[in-house]
Structure 1
Amino acid sequence: MPTDYYASHFTYTLYIILYIRKYNNEGKPDLIRNMRTLHQPSIQDLNVKIHHSTLLLSIQETEHDSIFLSNIDKVLNFNVQTIHFFPANPDFPLEVVAARLKNAIQKLMQDPYDFLAGKLNLNRQTGRLEIECDGCGVGFVEASTEYMLEEIVDLVYPNPAYRELIMQSWDNNEDRDQPLCIFQVTSFECGGFALGISTNHALFDGLSFIIFLKNLASQAFDDTPLAIKPCNNRRLLAARSPPQVTFPHPEMLELNHIREQRPVFASDDEDLDFKIFNLSPSDISYLKQKAKSGCETNKTTKITSFNVVTAHIWRCKFLSNPVQNNWDRVYTILYAVDIRSRLNPPLPHSYCGNAVLSAYASAKCMDLEDYPFSKLVDMISDGAARMTDEYARSVIDWGEVHRGFPNGEVLISSWWKLGFDEVMYPWGKPAYSCPVVYHRKDIILLFSDVGGGGVNVSVALPVKELEIFEQLFYKYLSA
């Protein structure tokens, strides 16, 4: 994961095109597709008004201690922002929702999430970043907008106005004094509301965050136990002593080489166009069948939805800039792999912290064009299979020896099947949950296609490259 890939840079086009595909009897997409064009949301400013903000403290005084951060955690010192939209529920007006959320957060701060109220601190004795559980508090904001939730029209569209639904900075404090966790409840005129949550990524990965949300929801009910008790022993992912880097790690880049190579998480100075490409369940089935029928696919290849979608994006992304590409150059794609079940012994499913590492696949640009699709799926599958217990430990130990970050030309950041919108609160499930979308040229986001069962692919590229990407995207769905 990059160090600042949630920093936002928005350059939107006037239109977003979603293609609805129909299939013929052979299971292959028709060349002529019905096309649906979604206009950019007319509401670019929600005019959110802040009514009250406070720092929530634990109901009872907690022990002042420090929490060890693994080498995976300490790299992820940046904020992750998510929005959860809820329709109106007459039994739960906003003041009741806010009161229940405050109480739930304060209960969680007692046990087992006391670190929510802490702050990041560099331990001068060990030289390591850690969480100091000093009880500074969790930010809680109550706000409103005069718009109706229905006026947003399409919640799936990554609207830059969503940034207003999360407080970006707490009272202009210095970075080191910012709360690690901020909640914002924003009411709409219709009675619906948005719950915006900003957390430092050092606290959670996707799986541990969904567990946190389930626990938050459970504590918003009356007299309900925790949904899942988290495992807070982050030393389970401590480096070995002495460190043993037993594999080469081309997917990692040392800090002293940052100036020589452009990291995948680097900001883009050029103007970027933006589109969302939809892959329907039928499209994904077609890609799977295409991978199965290829002669290169071996018996160990896992032909999953994620693997075929990632292989499809990999080819389109690297062939979208043929003028600047060196066809002999090796291009690397990065994607996250959960290592909980891959370690020996496995980590608890409820491990609270970051237990994901960057898998990778590499190929020359010319090969990305010439290889059969099945070969690309093989390589994506092999990249994940590479993440054994020893390989994961070697990456963690690499982080003990070196300071650096994941290294590749493109990163797939998947929010596809995390299930945020399946969490049941007293007032119901979210109508939709999504990250606050950022624009990075070499970071491609996957997120749920609400109601459609497919996946939406968020891509930001210079205009010419995006045009080529779009042509390739549909070309390779038809051949």
Structure 2
Amino acid sequence: METTSQERTPLLQDMKVTIHKTSMIFPSKQIEKKSLFLSNIDRVLNFHVKTVHFFEANKDFPPQIVTEKLKKALEDALVAYDFLAGRLKMNTETNRLEIDCNAEGVGFVVASSEYKLNQIGDLAYPNQAFAQFVHNAKDFLKIGDLPLCVVQVTSFKCGGFAFGITRSHAAIDGHSLKIFLDNLAALAANMPLIMTPFNDRQLLAARSPPHVDFPHPEMIKLDNLLPLGNESGVFEASSEELDFKVFQLTSKNINKLKEKAKINSIARVTSFNVITTHLWRCKALSGPYDPNRSSTILYAVDIRSRLNPPLPREYAGNEGEFSRLVEMVWEGTKRMGDEYARSIIDWGELYNGFPNGELLVSSWWRLGFEEVEYPWGKPKYCCPVVYHKKDIILLFPSFHGVEGGDDGVNIIVALPPPFGSRVLEGRGGKGRGDF
């Protein structure tokens, strides 16, 4: 199966960003101070995620006006999202991680770049220098302080800007972030919240007593408790040199995979299933041949609608042959019903560990960040600040600014040299690669 490979010109290594001001944003109204229970899923997914949202210039909304509106919208949003203004803490009595809703605030950074937006390169290509458009949460304004959210607004010479977000996955997952951004956009337009967040994580508390009813090979046990500011486990950065490459599957490519998957298959053939299967097979075949070697894949399943009763949509927490491989991926998704999900939660109550697999596919494809309608318009593109780890593959929407872009998917892959360096030698245009 061939995919389109986005080749690139040499990347800018320095975005020439100057930080002008760092501050804290606090809720616009007094909030009740409390401790927020975190589920075992929240506790395991305790790491920070960084995304950048790029916007073209809008003469009615220059960066200074946007910055003021975002700041005010954040202050108002933190009344409903009071936990985002809190801090993680360990409850010494229960030995559980919690969020102390203490209104200590989220970080806010105002910055500028010496470049115009059209000078920083292909937005769809995961340039690690995009990290300059987000700010680290650790030791933000004082040593030891770790906000659960930090926002950075970086203006460009053309009047466009980048909106960078660092957020704790323990506090808010990707689906919930989309709702948060919708609410932020509404508040910036002086409109009410589109949807009030539902923050009761007790809905995903372990049963009493906990009982594990299924084997869970997707989980790995640890000898020691994960640290408070855990960035380890499946998201631990690689020390080896890596190069990033973007592959694009068009709608036509995806439909061909679906047709192939339907042969002698009983699986529900979805776009995600066939894309994930394609990636899994490529990863498994990329190593040296060993008939006794097994290959495992890890991917997230949104369990909101799979529990009994279902979680509210506005829940703010976390949750061989090609046709046969598609069935295996489908079976993994299918078994994630109420009992299996509860069993995983109970497993986390009994053991210390985190999800583990040879390959993690993280799909941001259908989250809809690029569809958020702010007063100054929709983002030109949204992308992650990539993880420096070769076993994480990110799925993102196709960049419509690229010629021929459609409703396909961009696949961001980290490749070790010399392969990574060799396949990225192109100088513009598109190449063909056997993915």
| TM-score exceeds 0.5 | yes
- In the TM superposition, residue 66 of structure 1 has moved relative to its aligned partner by 0.7
Matched, 1:52 2:21: yes
Report the TM-score when normalising by structure 2.
Answer: 0.90
SS of equivalent residue, structure 1 residue 309: helix
- Residue among 278, 287, 312 paired with 2:278: 312
**Residue deviations 1:412-453 (CA, integer Å, cap 9, x gap):** 011111110100111111111111112212111111111221
**Structure-2 residue corresponding to 1:247:** 214
Q: Which one-letter code corresponds to 1:327 in the other structure?
A: P
Matched, 1:432 2:381: yes
**Structure-1 residue corresponding to 2:229:** none
User: 2-side partners of 1:196 and 1:156: how far apart?
Assistant: 15
User: 2-side partners of 1:252 and 1:385: how far apart?
Assistant: 18
Q: State whether residues 52 and 162 of structure 2, in contact with CA within 8 Å, keep that contact through their aligned partners in structure 1.
A: yes
- In the TM superposition, residue 125 of structure 1 has moved relative to its aligned partner by 1.0
CA separation of 1:385 and 1:226: change in aligned 2, threshold 3 A: same
**Structure-1 residue corresponding to 2:247:** 277
Q: State whether residues 126 and 244 of structure 2, in contact with CA within 8 Å, keep that contact through their aligned partners in structure 1.
A: no
User: 1-side partners of 2:140 and 2:366: how far apart?
Assistant: 35
Q: State whether residues 100 and 220 of structure 1, in contact with CA within 8 Å, keep that contact through their aligned partners in structure 2.
A: yes
- Residue among 27, 30, 37 paired with 2:7: 37
User: 1-side partners of 2:210 and 2:311: how far apart?
Assistant: 20
1:2-401 matches, cutoff 5 A? 20=4, 37-41=7-11, 43-110=12-79, 112-168=80-136, 169-171=138-140, 173-175=142-144, 177-222=145-190, 224-256=191-223, 264-292=234-262, 294-295=263-264, 297-298=265-266, 301-322=267-288, 326-355=290-319, 371-401=320-350
Q: State whether residues 110 and 152 of structure 2, in contact with CA within 8 Å, keep that contact through their aligned partners in structure 1.
A: yes
User: 2-side partners of 1:124 and 1:268: how far apart?
Assistant: 33
- In the TM superposition, residue 469 of structure 1 has moved relative to its aligned partner by 11
> Higher mean Cα deviation, 228-237 or 461-470?
461-470
- In the TM superposition, residue 401 of structure 1 has moved relative to its aligned partner by 0.3
Q: Which one-letter code corresponds to 1:354 in the other structure?
A: N
Query: Greater relative contact order: 1 or 2 (C-alpha under 8 angstroms, separation 6 or more)?
Result: 2
User: 1-side partners of 2:235 and 2:19: how far apart?
Assistant: 32
Q: State whether residues 140 and 147 of structure 2, in contact with CA within 8 Å, keep that contact through their aligned partners in structure 1.
A: no
Runs of 4+ with deviation above 2 angstroms: 35-38, 169-175, 262-274, 461-470, 473-476
- In the TM superposition, residue 121 of structure 1 has moved relative to its aligned partner by 0.4
- In the TM superposition, residue 405 of structure 1 has moved relative to its aligned partner by 0.6
Q: Percentage identity across aligned positions?
A: 54
SS of equivalent residue, structure 2 residue 295: strand
- In the TM superposition, residue 454 of structure 1 has moved relative to its aligned partner by 1.1
**Structure-1 residue corresponding to 2:410:** 456
CA separation of 1:327 and 1:469: change in aligned 2, threshold 3 A: farther
Q: State whether residues 320 and 466 of structure 1, in contact with CA within 8 Å, keep that contact through their aligned partners in structure 2.
A: no
CA separation of 1:143 and 1:266: change in aligned 2, threshold 3 A: closer
Report the TM-score when normalising by structure 1.
Answer: 0.82
**Structure-2 residue corresponding to 1:24:** none
- In the TM superposition, residue 386 of structure 1 has moved relative to its aligned partner by 1.0
SS of equivalent residue, structure 2 residue 240: coil
SS of equivalent residue, structure 2 residue 8: strand
SS of equivalent residue, structure 2 residue 172: coil
**Structure-1 residue corresponding to 2:371:** 422
Q: State whether residues 23 and 108 of structure 2, in contact with CA within 8 Å, keep that contact through their aligned partners in structure 1.
A: yes
Q: CA RMSD in A?
A: 2.3
**Residue deviations 1:13-66 (CA, integer Å, cap 9, x gap):** xxxxx954xxxxxxxxxxxxxx8632232x220111111111112222211111
Q: State whether residues 6 and 247 of structure 2, in contact with CA within 8 Å, keep that contact through their aligned partners in structure 1.
A: no
CA separation of 1:202 and 1:73: change in aligned 2, threshold 3 A: same
CA separation of 1:254 and 1:469: change in aligned 2, threshold 3 A: farther
User: 2-side partners of 1:319 and 1:307: how far apart?
Assistant: 18
CA separation of 1:373 and 1:469: change in aligned 2, threshold 3 A: farther
User: 2-side partners of 1:388 and 1:441: how far apart?
Assistant: 30
- In the TM superposition, residue 180 of structure 1 has moved relative to its aligned partner by 1.1
User: 2-side partners of 1:348 and 1:468: how far apart?
Assistant: 47
Q: How many residues align?
A: 415
Q: Which one-letter code corresponds to 1:462 in the other structure?
A: P
